[in-house]
Structures are given as structure tokens and as C-alpha cells.
Amino acid sequence: MNIPLLDLRAQYLSIQEEIDQKILEVVSSQRFILGPEVEEFEKEMAAYSGAEFAVGVSSGSDALIISLMALGVGEGDAVVTTPFTFFATVGAIARLKAKPVFCDIEKKSFNIDPAKLEGVLESQLRKEGISAIKAVIPVHLYGQCVDMTPIMDCAKKYDLFVVEDSAQAVGAEYPTPEGIKKACTLGNLGILSFFPSKNLGGFGDGGMVLTDEEELAQKLKLLRGHGSRNKYFYDILGGNFRLDALQASILRVKLKYLETWHQKRREKALYYNKIFQESGLVEEGKIQIPEPLYKDSGVKNYHIYHQYVLRAKERDKLLEFLKGKGVGTAVYYPLPLHLQKCFSYLGYKEGDFPVAEKATHEVLAIPVYPELTSEQQDYVVTSISAFYKS
Ligand SMILES: Cc1ncc(COP(=O)(O)O)c(C=O)c1O
């Protein structure tokens, strides 16, 4: 059996007529950059997320850069984040000539560990002086929110901006003391990626920044169009960070199905949990299955399962074995950011973030998407069992 890690063709076929119609409409209109499709999509995403403002941009990576630019992050500033994330989170900080500062992750969720944040801030401040740390970027990895209440408390205490990297967590919810809120509405700014493989993915690159702060929203809009309010007059230094109309129109169609898709992914995850438990692999300590943090807090989208990630013994051998069985897998991520060559100038070394480093040797994402069948899931689990019994 051949089971890809993700089957985007199956998703397209399920909504092909609507999508094709939308694409034709945009092509007929010949309005490709920003325009009404983008504006409508921004309104719909703001309503979906519960944010006041949404600004469509060219990618999740650009959404991070433009967010930090809007907050005035630059040379001489430090920004704290996790070493266990996609490169773009840290790349954005470094590209603005600010200093990435890392804080280790929680074992259970793979997200930045709020209990360690204050210690990191204190030790940095002793080195840098209090004005140096400008922001923190919690990353809601794999589709589950960071434990944001202690992060927000810490941000308040140390006067930090909070930019939520929600690239993998569109619509994921978190129980705040004031009620349930969605990713992107917990900090000052939240970013999304519409990379094709995301739960809400376009037919190319796309991204978004969401915020409740009008001034920031206006600045983001200015920055995404070269800092120009009136054509050929430039108030501030921006760039071309625009979302195009074709992507927005496709994403508008997909947005209508997003909650159903989240629900289906969750059902697949629950089924995996069940059959992994029954296989005995969990009890024997061969694998660990995901343990969602907010499942019992009355939160519907406690996890949107952008990825279903196991911890696995002999992970690399298992991965090769599964390849031979036709099962698609991936390692998100094989090397933490503090040990990447391009960040060697920061002076981190192996052993600095042991929880993140351990995770890089153990994590394995297996197929999870709405169209996955239970027969396919059975095959994935049987194949994993076969590996450990061989
Ligand atoms: C956590 C995280 N941050 C940022 C990004 C960057 O998004 P994009 O690929 O749209 O530039 C991604 C997407 O891959 C991501 O997973």
C-alpha cells in the first residue's frame, strides 16, 4: 500500500468545481494583486479567528518579518523563541539584524517551556541590559497552542511584545482565564502560513498577520506595499509583501471547509491513539503518542493535528523501514536551530537545550489528513508494529 504523508490531490478533487470556478472568476477579472478577493478573505479570516484586523501577505515567513518590522525590532534588539521550530521563525529575527535568543521546549507538547522563559530573560538581561529584549515568539507547533497564560504574564512583567507563530495552528484554540481564544489573538500579533501543506493551504505561497491593534494593522498594510500610502510616495521603508488575489480566492473556498477538516483530522488522531494503544507499542515503550494539553478543558480545537507526531525508538531505522512499506513520514525537525551552521555566530553549543535536542532524535510525523481511511491507518500501525517485532 502507498500512503503519502499528505494527499493534497484528494482534497482538491473533493472541492474541484468550486475552486475551478473561483479561479476562473479571478482570471476573468484580471485583478491579481490585493483587491476585493484579498479584502474579503481578510474580513473572513478576522471573523474566523476572532481578531479585529487581518492583513494578507506573501508567505508565513514574510508575515514574521513584517510583524517584527511593525514592532520596530532591529539591530541591538533580542527576540526570544524556541530552538525547535521551522527555520523561518528564527530567520526573521536574524534577517532584521536582531539577536535570536532561545528558550528550551516542554517535553510533552514540544512547545516553548513557559517555566523556563523567565530564567532565560533574566540571564539575558544580566548580559544585555533591560532595553535589549523586545519580543517573544511562541510557536504553536504541530497544531497545538503554547501554554500562553504564563507567557503573557511574563511578557507583561518584562514589557515584551508577543508575536504568535501560528503557521501550523490556524484555528487552534486555547483556554485563557477569560475564555477560549484562537491562535493569533493571544499576543499582540499572530501570523499564519498558507503554504500548500498547511491545514488551510493555497496553491502557492501566502500568509497573514492578525491583530486587535488598529495602529499595528495600519502599519502592516503600509509595510506590505513598500511603505507607500500614495502611489510613488514612500513614508517608511517597507517591501513587497502582498498576498495575491488567486491565492485569496482559493483560500476563501477552503476556509468554508476548515472546521470540518480539523474535526476529521482529530478523528484520525483519536483512531491512531486507539490502535497504537491496542498494538502494545505504547506500553512496551517503543513509541509515545501525542498527549494534547487542553483536551479536557472544553476546548473544541484543542489540537488541529497539522501533524500527528510520535516519539519513536530507533527513529531513523523506523523511517527507512516505513519508506520500504510505502508509508510517507517526515522529521520536523532533524536539527534544532541553535545548532544550525548559519546561527553558529550566536555561540550556542550542543547540550544547551537538551529537551529540544532529544526531540530531534525521536520525532516522526506520520500521515494525518481528512481523506485518510481507517484501512490506511491500520496499515501504518501494522507496519510500525512489524518494524519493532522484526
Ligand atoms: C512554524 C512555522 N513558522 C513559519 C513558517 C513559514 O511559513 P511559509 O512557508 O509560508 O513562509 C512555517 C511554514 O512552513 C512554519 O511551520
Give 1-59 pLDDT, tens digit per residue. Answer: 999 999 999 999 999 999 999 999 999 999 999 999 999 999 999 999 999 999 999 99
Per-residue pLDDT of 240-251, as tens digits, reads: 999 999 999 999
Per-residue pLDDT of 247-291, as tens digits, reads: 999 999 999 999 999 999 999 999 999 999 999 999 999 999 999
The DSSP symbol for 363 reads: E
The per-residue pLDDT for 127 is: 80
* Spacing, Cα 86 to ligand 1 middle (Å): 6
The per-residue pLDDT for 126 is: 84
Residues whose beta carbon lies within 6 Å of some atom of ligand 1: 59-61, 85-86, 88-89, 139, 165, 167-168, 193, 195, 205, 207
Domain boundaries, the chain: 8-103+110-255, 258-389
How far apart CA 110 and CA 275 sit, in angstroms, is 23
**Of 389, 390, 387, the residue nearest 323 (C-alpha):** 387
Of ligand 1's listed atoms, the one at least distance from the Cα of 139 is: 1
Q: How confident is the model at residue 106 (pLDDT cuts 50, 70, 90)?
A: very high
Contact 83, 353 (CB under 8 A): yes
User: What's the rounded mean pLDDT across residues 163-173?
Assistant: 98
Task: Out of 57, 65, 79, 86, give the residue to mutate to test ligand 1, the one with the largest number of ligand atoms within 8 Å of its CB.
Answer: 86
How far apart CA 377 and CA 3 sit, in angstroms, is 9
Residue nearest to ligand 1 atom 7, measured at CA: 60
The per-residue pLDDT for 128 is: 63
Q: How confident is the model at residue 390 (pLDDT cuts 50, 70, 90)?
A: confident
Residue 284: CB atoms within 10 Å: 10
**Cα 142 from chain centroid?**
7
* DSSP three-state, residue 251: helix
DSSP-H helix ranges across 16-133: 16-29, 36-49, 60-70, 87-95, 114-128
The model carries a pTM of 0.98
Per-residue burial over 308-330, b if 16 or more Cβ lie within 10 Å, else e, is bbbbbeebeebbebbeebebbbb
H-helix or E-strand containing 316? helix 315-324
Is the pLDDT at 129 greater than 90? The verdict is no
Residue 34's contacts (CB-CB under 8 Å, 6 or more residues apart) are 56, 225, 242, 243, 244, 245
- The amino acid occupying position 346 is L
H-helix or E-strand containing 324? helix 315-324
How far apart CA 40 and CA 70 sit, in angstroms, is 23
Q: How confident is the model at residue 352 (pLDDT cuts 50, 70, 90)?
A: very high
Contact 84, 103 (CB under 8 A): no
The per-residue pLDDT for 131 is: 62
Task: Out of 166, 168, 170, 333, give the residue to mutate to test ligand 1, the one with the largest number of ligand atoms within 8 Å of its CB.
Answer: 168
User: What's the rounded mean pLDDT across residues 348-355?
Assistant: 98
CA dihedral over 126, 131, 132, 135, signed as positive or negative = positive
Per-residue pLDDT of 190-242, as tens digits, reads: 999 999 999 999 999 999 999 999 999 999 999 999 999 999 999 999 999 99
- If you search the block for the grid coordinates 514589557, which residue do you land on? 159
Residue nearest to ligand 1 atom 8, measured at CA: 60
Cα distance between the two ends of the chain: 19
CATH fold match for the domains 8-103+110-255 and 258-389:
no
The per-residue pLDDT for 132 is: 84
Q: What does the DSSP assignment read for 188-250?
A: SEEEEE--TTSSS--SS--EEEEES-HHHHHHHHHHHBTTEEETTEESS---B-BPBHHHHHH
Superfamily of domain 258-389: Aspartate Aminotransferase, domain 1 (3.90.1150.10)
The per-residue pLDDT for 130 is: 53
CATH architecture of the domain with range 8-103+110-255 = 3-Layer(aba) Sandwich (3.40)
* Spacing, Cα 387 to ligand 1 middle (Å): 32
Is the pLDDT at 125 greater than 70? The verdict is yes
Task: Out of 145, 192, 195, 198, give the residue to mutate to test ligand 1, the one with the largest number of ligand atoms within 8 Å of its CB.
Answer: 195
User: What's the rounded mean pLDDT across residues 135-162?
Assistant: 98
